[in-house]
Structure 1
Amino acid sequence: MTETLTILTINPGSTSTKIAVFADETRLFERKVDHSAADLAPFDTIGDQFAMRKAAIVAALKEEGFDLASLAAVAGRGGKLPPLKRGAYVVNDDMVEFLRHRPIDQHASNLGALIAYDVAAPLGIPAFIYDAVVVDEMDDIARFSGVPQLTRRASCHVLNMRAMAIKVLKRDGIRLEDANVVVCHMGGGVTATVISGGRMIDVLSDEEGPFSPERAGRVPCRQLVDLCFSKDYDRKSATKLMRGVGGLVAYLGTNSALEVEARIDRGDAEADLVYRAMAYQIAKGIGELSTVVMGKVDRIVLTGAIAHSKRMTDLVVERVKFIAPVEIVPGENELEALAAGTLRVLRGEEAPNVFVAPPRPATAARDRSRMAHA
């Protein structure tokens, strides 16, 4: 009989940390550990929250009566690291040092790997991240923006998107590496990707694709330049207009799709038009990415929180079903995705990558100087 593999998954967010324990594919329990404003107030940086968040996780596990000694591995949400390959990475000393002392950005996900490592190390078991925040395997041709100073970046909801594509295809006995799939994640931001040969060869980030509940998405360039150089906006307020108070918030004053749908049900014509416009742009983005693989798309997958909305998915499916069969897998399934990826590694179905930290800037400059004088 094959030994059951028990995995703890950790996904830190801005004001909470979600955890779950899986026995093979079965979720034993899930907890959301909230961090109040008072809890977070003493800390200047995300990194400073480490001990508080870890203690809260350990306390939650004790409340569940869970014995850490039964774990085979711990998986944390990948943080703001340099662009990585898809799949699993072992959390090693290089990764810990990078996330503690020179993270690319102050992001709650940076704590995922750190807490996973700190829990796993005393138990003598591995800690992993899987499909980190920035996985970049885009084709070179996809990087061009039209302006040499502006390079397109692979920024999307990687973890959930790849996991849901794998899940849909596995049900039909198809490997992700053998299919072309367009996946759209619909949440506070909307992103989309086309996966071919297992790689995310192109993406629509949340700033260059459809507008969403809180983000403006792709906007007219010249009008944006004029807006930024007007006296009405500084850098901070212009950025917030694109990310934070764009999309549904800008048009309708709310980021809640449920509220918008309630307005539509009450006969609000403006809400109906804006909502249909968002679906229109989502469908257009899916169609755009379908051209990358010459229209040879095996599946379209709609995921994210807004995929729970039948009204929204019906609007999108109506426009894209001619391209390929559409699968709807709602929710933000990061904990499940972390567990599934880690399980594949533990079973030997995937080999984990090894993180090598880039040299510190001063070290890099010193090395160039040595080479110049060699």
Structure 2
Amino acid sequence: MSNSFHILAINPGSTSNKIGLYNGAEKVFEHTIRHDREELKQFKTIWDQYDFRYNVIRDEFKKHPLTVDRLDAVVGRGGLLKPIISGTYEVNDEMVQDARNNYQGEHASNLGCVLARDLAKEYNCRAFIVDPPSTCEFQRLSFYSGHPLITRRPIAHALNIHAIARKASHDLGIPYEKSRLIIAHCGGGITVASVVGGKMIDNNDATCEGPFTPERTGGMPLMPFADLCFSGKYTLPQIKKMVMGEGGFVAYLGTNSAVKVEEMAASGDTLAREVYQAMVYQIAKDIGSQATVQNGKFDAIVVTGGLAYSDFFFNSLSERTGFLGKILRYPGEDELGALAGGALRILEGSEKALSYPQFGERPPEWKFAT
């Protein structure tokens, strides 16, 4: 049955657009359209890039020799939308408006739902997004930050985490709806999440919490950071860039390449080795933290993302966390496959498309102490 469904998946990134054509669950082709940063400098905002990206994607898809005349669905990567439960959503006007307004921040992924909708119009088919970064399935206590002016956000690598959670549950022989996992998605950004019964009940905000990464600071000591912010040396955009883009390996070592840092460490660079070990140390601490979220009752720790390709990384992390329980390894990520899989489940009828927005547990409405 699935072989009758043709699905185009689109994953817009900061300097690239990835597209993939699927015949059911089978990938027909995949292509990455890369954009030079100089090429994108002509555009002031992500949305100024929209027409340029749309035309490039459409033209690339149409010229491919395996392109089909009929599509059943176009599925785009979800963006920083309203905090919603996981699942596959039909693109609607409210979603498009929130994406265009950069509801929770400006990010290339915000383009995904609009690209999907406009291409779907050309092919007279359905448009979806799947498990956007703004997926919010926190349990109530997870929202607390320590001050009522700030609520913790569940911004995460939700698409890959849910896809890997499904795969790990299958491999463990446990129904997805009954599995209890700690998943560490480790790449340029890092998310460590508790996935219980198919829901991400707690995780670090991957933009500004948790471990430092190849290019992000992760959580920072707040009092010194407040002093830095008000030192007069930095503007707000510079501070935000420092946290997300110029932190981690970039700040300590001048590169965001984990492969290069590992090579530096292997060649005797003691600072590179120490910085790498410090990142692993912080990831391990977050895994331990998520173990307490589940009262120690979980089926496995699952390590995924680009860093998981490295034996040095995986072995170092396993040394610190192996005593907690079983550790599974799924290197890399397959976001296009996860997008297509979400759309396919709707087309096959095994799931129903959600109508945006669908909210889960809402943050508490705090009042200041008097």
Residue in structure 1 matched with residue 127 of structure 2 by the alignment: 127
Alpha-carbon distance, 1:324 to partner: 2.4
Structure 1 residues 1-374: aligned runs within 5 Å: 3-37=3-37, 39-100=39-100, 103-206=103-206, 207-356=208-357
Alpha-carbon distance, 1:52 to partner: 2.1
Q: Residues 333, 153 of structure 1: CA spacing in aligned structure 2 closer, same or farther, 3 A cutoff?
A: same
Alpha-carbon distance, 1:229 to partner: 3.0
Residues of 1 paired with 2:36 and 2:350: CA distance? 40
Q: Residues 140, 17 of structure 1: CA spacing in aligned structure 2 closer, same or farther, 3 A cutoff?
A: same
Residue in structure 2 matched with residue 366 of structure 1 by the alignment: none
**CA displacement 1:224-273 (0-9 Å, x = unmatched):** 22322334444333333322222112222221111111111111222111
Residues of 2 paired with 1:241 and 1:36: CA distance? 22
Residues of 2 paired with 1:262 and 1:49: CA distance? 36
**Is contact 1:186-1:306 (8 Å) kept?**
yes
**Is contact 2:165-2:198 (8 Å) kept?**
no
Residues of 2 paired with 1:211 and 1:43: CA distance? 30
Q: Normalization by structure 1: what TM-score?
A: 0.89
Residues of 1 paired with 2:329 and 2:170: CA distance? 15
Q: Residues 21, 230 of structure 1: CA spacing in aligned structure 2 closer, same or farther, 3 A cutoff?
A: same
Report the residue type matching 1:324 in the other structure: G
Alpha-carbon distance, 1:39 to partner: 4.6
Segments of 4+ in structure 1 off by > 6 A? none
Alpha-carbon distance, 1:135 to partner: 0.5
Q: Residues 349, 323 of structure 1: CA spacing in aligned structure 2 closer, same or farther, 3 A cutoff?
A: farther
Alpha-carbon distance, 1:21 to partner: 1.0
Q: Residues 107, 242 of structure 1: CA spacing in aligned structure 2 closer, same or farther, 3 A cutoff?
A: closer
Name the SS of the counterpart of 1:149 in structure 2.
coil
Residues of 1 paired with 2:289 and 2:15: CA distance? 35
Residues of 2 paired with 1:66 and 1:42: CA distance? 33
Q: Name which of structure 1's ranges 90-99 and 113-122 shifts more when overlaid on structure 2.
A: 90-99
**Is contact 1:156-1:191 (8 Å) kept?**
yes
Residues of 1 paired with 2:39 and 2:251: CA distance? 31
Alpha-carbon distance, 1:37 to partner: 4.5
Name the SS of the counterpart of 1:321 in structure 2.
helix
Alpha-carbon distance, 1:38 to partner: 5.9
Alpha-carbon distance, 1:302 to partner: 1.1
Where structure 2 has 5 or more consecutive residues not aligned to the other structure, the ranges are 360-370
Q: Residues 103, 144 of structure 1: CA spacing in aligned structure 2 closer, same or farther, 3 A cutoff?
A: closer
| Higher RCO (CA 8 Å, separation ≥ 6 residues) | 2
Alpha-carbon distance, 1:329 to partner: 1.2
Alpha-carbon distance, 1:145 to partner: 1.2
Alpha-carbon distance, 1:68 to partner: 4.2
**Is contact 2:82-2:357 (8 Å) kept?**
no
Tell me which structure has the larger Cα radius of gyration. Answer: 1
Q: Residues 38, 66 of structure 1: CA spacing in aligned structure 2 closer, same or farther, 3 A cutoff?
A: farther
Q: Name which of structure 1's ranges 114-123 and 288-297 shifts more when overlaid on structure 2.
A: 114-123
Report the residue type matching 2:270 in the other structure: A
Alpha-carbon distance, 1:126 to partner: 1.1
Residues of 2 paired with 1:233 and 1:58: CA distance? 41
Q: Residues 78, 252 of structure 1: CA spacing in aligned structure 2 closer, same or farther, 3 A cutoff?
A: same
Q: Residues 59, 339 of structure 1: CA spacing in aligned structure 2 closer, same or farther, 3 A cutoff?
A: same
Q: Normalization by structure 2: what TM-score?
A: 0.90
Provide the identity percentage.
Answer: 42
Q: Residues 245, 196 of structure 1: CA spacing in aligned structure 2 closer, same or farther, 3 A cutoff?
A: same
Alpha-carbon distance, 1:295 to partner: 0.7
Where structure 1 has 5 or more consecutive residues not aligned to the other structure, the ranges are 359-374
**Is contact 2:81-2:102 (8 Å) kept?**
no
**Is contact 2:82-2:98 (8 Å) kept?**
no
Name the SS of the counterpart of 1:69 in structure 2.
coil
RMSD of aligned alpha carbons:
2.1
Alpha-carbon distance, 1:328 to partner: 1.4
Q: Residues 2, 113 of structure 1: CA spacing in aligned structure 2 closer, same or farther, 3 A cutoff?
A: closer
Name the SS of the counterpart of 2:324 in structure 1.
coil
**Is contact 2:83-2:136 (8 Å) kept?**
yes
Residues of 1 paired with 2:119 and 2:328: CA distance? 37
Q: Residues 58, 240 of structure 1: CA spacing in aligned structure 2 closer, same or farther, 3 A cutoff?
A: closer
**Is contact 2:2-2:348 (8 Å) kept?**
no
**Is contact 1:98-1:357 (8 Å) kept?**
no
